[in-house]
Chains A and B, each alone.
Chain A
Amino acid sequence: MMGKELSIIHPRPSSIVAALYTLRDLNVDVAILHGPPGCSFKHARLLEEDGIRVVTTALDENGFVFGGRQELSSLLEKVNEMFKPRLIGVVGTCASMIIGEELREPVEDANLDVPVIEVEVHAGYPDNTKGVLITLESACEVGVIDREELERQKVLLHEATQVEKRHGAASRQYLEPSRGDVKYKVAERVIRLLQEGRKCITIMNAKKETGYMFADITAAVNEVALALGKEGNVVNMANVDDSLGLPRVRHHAKCIAADLKERGITVHEIIGGMDEYPVTGERVNELIKQKYKDYDFALITGVPHAIPMEALEGMEVISVTNGPRQVLPLKEMGHQHVIVEIDLHPKTLGVNHIVESEFGATLREVAKDMLGK
């Protein structure tokens, strides 16, 4: 077919899942999945750990044939009674959208005095950011966010899609998951570089709540540098601007910045908000050009593939991602060392303090051995 876009055949979260996470960032108390009982089960459970309730209308075969208007409106009533929410989200699924279910009518039937964000979404969009977009548009309609924020999010979403298509999980039809390089070897390398007096930039370019773990790596590098008396050789950049983004995202930035401060770590350059990971690359590029050209190595965490290689020219690049399918694209970009923080997401949901990372812990342990402390 002419002009057909690359179709991605490895599994990725669907638009339904993306919608659920966006509702979470909008601080809904309850998200209702209008569809089959098992839809998005794993993410729904993770989100429950993050403090929101995720329930389902559990449409069965009869529901597919006769529709589930009644089921949805009575679930809305039940949820309202049980959880006393201040904000509710209703998310469509493939099943309900294919049979043409309408979300507005059951919401009107239930007639709650709680705002409801209706998200008519299914899993059949090639870019899962579509799920985010539909959610935000609906949130804007209900008045949960303003138009300006909606427009800002649209730009970010577009950029996020581009980043994924350029060097991310959508850059190739099939990407094999990989665990990346061995952590203790990379830890040794980082310690050696610091020992030799090499100058280091840490760049935390984290996507929202993943920052709780990536910030630990920034902390660990600083601790090791301090132990070596080389703290002056490290400059820290992080996307922890707490004035930008959806309510929960701003909250994450605030918590992470406060934790770093408490540990005595200075964030020298704030490169953006926690939803700006796809657009921070240019800022980083400019900053390095202006002030840090002579730095020897960079340790990038979060979404390292959003930082252009131009910015990192001449530096040894170590990157830490939580995407096992991200290893190959990063290596191909020229990152010498790529490591993966496995299981990052489950560990960073529902927290509001920095969480220990595997690489941070490894750095600390290897440093103890190497420095005899």
Chain B
Amino acid sequence: MLMTTSAKNQKRIAIYGKGGIGKSSTASNVAAACADEGYKVMIIGCDPKSDSSITLLGGKRIPTILDLLRQNIDVREKDIVFEGYGGVKCVEVGGPEPGIGCAGRGIIVAIQKLQKACPSMSDMDLIIYDVPGDIVCGGFVAPIRKGLVTEAYILTSGEYMPLYAANNICKGLAKIDTPLSGIICNSRSVTREEEIVRRFSEEIGSRLVAFIPKEQIVQDCERDGFSVLEKAPRSDIAHVYRNLAKAIMFNDQSILPGSLDDERLRELTR
């Protein structure tokens, strides 16, 4: 297998979680926070919505790898890698039109292209894969299976559905022998939310690495096309992201996660 990402201390993480739970904003804020600390960071958005990088690029959309492949363009690094806030290198995988083709296969093809076309991947200190939704098929696990990801994080809130998805992802990770490095709670202001997610994390054998409170400012910055780190660097929430970034960069604990049965999951969220 071609491995361009061979640097020794490089962190290659994937963030999984239910669709719409806030993976992209978390990923881009973490990327920005790490860039602020002087790390070389790359963010690879695997969601067809291509919204992982938009807040690092001042609201600008970039061509996706699959857009270019669709046009039969032989992609090179400069066609797909765009520098954003703090020098963060942004890549978007893109996807087929809804209802047509195979998004999972698209991820596989795109990351293979990326590996080939993008030598600068090996210079990075941190590469973040922002993977959509639940682990739904082999294609979505490709970044892990192809050896591109070494650590996985799960983002969830304290509601039943995101936890259900998180639990499923744990099953998937265990199946493909990939350790989980921690759970991140992106709050939806549910009662006892932090406690619920903490309990969940512990019961599957992992830990809660961050609790991100729900703050309007995140959405406001996003709407303007910025991360909070760029637009509101002195806000409390920016501080939370900085702590999360630190936790990720210094994290050296990971475990093969267990999972809960549905009854226990319901009990937790009741």
Contacts and interface: CB of A to CB of B under 8 A. Distances in A.
Interface of A: 61-67, 69, 98-100
A100 B109 CA distance: 18
Dominant secondary structure at the A interface: helix
A88 B72 CA distance: 30
Nearest to B139: A65
Contacts of A61: 105, 109
Contacts of B84: none
Nearest to B100: A67
Contacts of A67: 96-97, 100-101
Interface string B91-112: 0000011011111011001000
Nearest to A98: B102
A340 to B, nearest CB: 41
A62 B69 contact: yes
Contacts of B70: 62, 65-66
24 contacts: A61-B105, A61-B109, A62-B69, A63-B101, A64-B101, A64-B102, A64-B109, A65-B66, A65-B69, A65-B70, A65-B101, A65-B105, A65-B106, A66-B70, A66-B96, A66-B97, A66-B100, A66-B106, A67-B97, A69-B100, A99-B105, A100-B99, A100-B100, A100-B102
A62 B113 CA distance: 12
Contacts of B72: 62
Contacts, number: 39
B105 A64 contact: yes
Contacts of A99: 101-102, 105
Contacts of A64: 101-102, 105, 109
Interface in B14-72: 66, 69-70, 72
Contacts of B102: 64-65, 98-100
Q: Which of B69, B99, B102, B103 has the most CB of A within 10 A?
A: B102
A358 to B, nearest CB: 47
A258 B69 CA distance: 58
B116 to A, nearest CB: 13
B132 to A, nearest CB: 15
Contacts of A63: 101
Nearest to B107: A65
Given A62-B69, A67-B96, A67-B101, 13 more contacts: A61-B105, A62-B70, A62-B72, A65-B66, A65-B69, A65-B101, A65-B105, A66-B66, A66-B70, A66-B100, A66-B101, A66-B106, A67-B100
Nearest to A64: B105
Contacts of B106: 65-66
A64 B66 CA distance: 12
Nearest to A99: B102
Contacts of A100: 99-100, 102
Q: Which 4 A-B pairs have the closest CB atoms?
A: A67-B101, A99-B102, A67-B100, A65-B106
A63 B69 CA distance: 10
Q: Which of A61, A62, A65, A98 has the most CB of B within 10 A?
A: A65
B21 to A, nearest CB: 26
Interface string B61-87: 000001001101000000000000000
A99 B102 CA distance: 5
A100 B103 CA distance: 11
A97 to B, nearest CB: 11
Nearest to A65: B106
A187 B66 CA distance: 65
A63 B109 CA distance: 11
A66 B69 CA distance: 10
Contacts of B96: 65-67
A318 B195 CA distance: 80
A373 B49 CA distance: 84
Contacts of B100: 66-67, 69, 100
A108 to B, nearest CB: 15
A327 B103 CA distance: 47
B177 to A, nearest CB: 24
A125 B117 CA distance: 39
A65 B109 CA distance: 8
A100 B102 CA distance: 8
Contacts of B66: 65-66
